[in-house]
Amino acid sequence: MRKQRLEAIGKRLLEHRQELYAEILRKNREAAGLTDEGVPDLADQGLTDNLREFLHLLSDNKREELIKVDEALDRLAAGSYGLCQRCGEPIDIQRLEVRPFTRYDVACKEAIEKEEALKAGPGRGTL
């Protein structure tokens, strides 16, 4: 069952990435002020090569999202998706369904947040 649910998440991630790419292309056209025919077909050139150039057209949120989607898809392809990147245990499938980009199980996520809070110290955010 877990495998099927992971596959369903993978499908959602792919769809999500396509939406984000579509937005990049749309913004690129807007920025270039060109019609459809004036824009090279990025799919033929390998979208990832061009992606970096167009990432600045996305808002920070979308950019971060796209990177997270890509990373999650990389992990899916590598077979490490759904495993905690800290302790190696399988992450709860329901957690993955709600937060498909997550890299850690709940226990490790909380531990990491605590560590980061300690590292950042009381001066955090003063800049």
In this structure, the dihedral spanned by the alpha carbons of residues 31, 33, 37 and 42, taken in order and rounded to 10 degrees, is -10
Q: How far is the CB of 80 from Zn ion (least distance, A)?
A: 13
φ, ψ for residue 96, nearest 5 deg: -65, -35
Q: How far is the CB of 74 from Zn ion (least distance, A)?
A: 19
Q: Does 96 bind Zn ion (CB under 5 A)?
A: no
* Region from 31-39, 62-70, 76-84, 112-120 binding Zn ion, contact rule CB under 5 A: 76-84
In this structure, the dihedral spanned by the alpha carbons of residues 57, 60, 24 and 32, taken in order and rounded to 10 degrees, is -10
Q: How far is CA 39 from the centre of its chain?
A: 26
Nearest residue (CB) to Zn ion, 63 versus 86:
86
User: Which of 39, 87, 106, 117 is in the footprint of Zn ion by CB under 5 A?
Assistant: 87
Q: Does 82 bind Zn ion (CB under 5 A)?
A: no
φ, ψ for residue 90, nearest 5 deg: -65, 135
User: Which of 5, 29, 86, 95 is in the footprint of Zn ion by CB under 5 A?
Assistant: 86
Q: Does 105 bind Zn ion (CB under 5 A)?
A: yes
φ, ψ for residue 97, nearest 5 deg: -70, -35
Write out the residues near Zn ion by the rule CB under 5 A: 84, 86-87, 105, 108
